Structure 1
Amino acid sequence: MTTSAERPCGARLLAALPADERELLVSLARTVALPAGTRVFEEGEEADRFWILCSGTVALDIHIPGRGSAVVETIGADGLLGWSWLCPPRQWHLGAETREPVLAWEFDAAAVRALCAERPALGLALVTLVAETIGERLRATRTRLLDLYGPSADGPAP
């Protein structure tokens, strides 16, 4: 599968994996097309799969009691959607909804965990990839929080 730029889906994201391990992982993928406005998963549900986005965007949201949902992150092409499948209790920490039509590779989490158990090099590479993704999102969240609550150029925050 290729993206609109004629680059294989997930090329940047999966580049860190050794080629033979990458091929094994991609062999477990199935291509899915999700229309705009599709709820991909809900906070608290079982995290039994994950996706690599080939095109489109997905908004991650959190439910705020009495206020509804608030978008906390948007993931685009070549992004990893879902990491809760990797760590117990394997439940989604957020909800996700497509903002525009999405084409993605979908992976069955149990099958990927089984493959990683058989191939420790793949398991380590995949855990590293997921950890890097989590780190990037935490840094982005910290920046957004500083923008909202940090000191302004006019002086300290209230």
Structure 2
Amino acid sequence: MTQEHREQFMSHAREVSFAAGERIFDEGVKADRFWIIHTGTVALDLHVPGRQAAVVDTLGAGRMLGWSWLVPPHHWHLGAEATSPVRAYEFDAAAVREMCAKDPELDHELCTYVSGVLARRLRSARVRLLDLYAPHGAGEVP
């Protein structure tokens, strides 16, 4: 992100914190904000009927928490819980979408960034699924 766009983006940030064990959001609920984690860790989980939620990824410092705010219908696809004390920058999703609508270059930069987040999450989910369900060695490249 250019310095100018970073400053625009960060002008919408507010510092927040979450205690270890605190739910940050739940799957299916309206996604109206997102965070950049400054310190601590957050587990992303998936509701499994009749069982404990399955952790699908863990995020740490410098990572974006939440992408569902960008894609209609703006509902969380996963849940999130702080696994340690977390400090983060919180962003109002509607304000950021409005800012992007006024600045196509910023919109492109942010969409490219979020696409990278999605790609990393898909890779992580794939590896986790292979670890859990594939025959031993199925994830190895020949």
TM-score using structure 2 length: 0.93
Which one-letter code corresponds to 2:111 in the other structure? V
Whole-angstrom distance in 2 between the partners of 1:39 and 1:80:
16
Partner SS for 2:27: coil
- In structure 2, the partner of 1:6 is none
- In structure 2, the partner of 1:37 is 21
For structure 2, list consecutive stretches of 5 or more residues without a partner in the other structure: 138-142
Whole-angstrom distance in 2 between the partners of 1:132 and 1:72:
17
- 1:69-103 superposed Cα distances (whole Å, 9 cap, x missing partner): 11111110001000000000100011111001000
Whole-angstrom distance in 1 between the partners of 2:110 and 2:31:
17
**CA positional deviation for 1:113:** 0.2
- In structure 2, the partner of 1:48 is 32
Partner SS for 1:68: coil
- The Cα RMSD (Å) is 1.0
Q: Which has the larger radius of gyration?
A: 1
Whole-angstrom distance in 2 between the partners of 1:83 and 1:134:
8
Whole-angstrom distance in 2 between the partners of 1:79 and 1:135:
13
Aligned match for 1:66, one of 50, 61, 75: 50
**CA positional deviation for 1:151:** 3.2
- In structure 2, the partner of 1:126 is 110
- In structure 2, the partner of 1:85 is 69
| Identity, % of aligned positions | 56
**CA positional deviation for 1:58:** 0.5
Do the aligned residues in 1 keep the contact of 2:31 with 2:75 (CA within 8 Å)?
yes
Do the aligned residues in 1 keep the contact of 2:42 with 2:81 (CA within 8 Å)?
yes
Do the aligned residues in 1 keep the contact of 2:56 with 2:128 (CA within 8 Å)?
no
- 1:115-145 superposed Cα distances (whole Å, 9 cap, x missing partner): 0001110001000000001001111111222
Which one-letter code corresponds to 1:107 in the other structure? F
Aligned match for 2:98, one of 104, 114, 119: 114
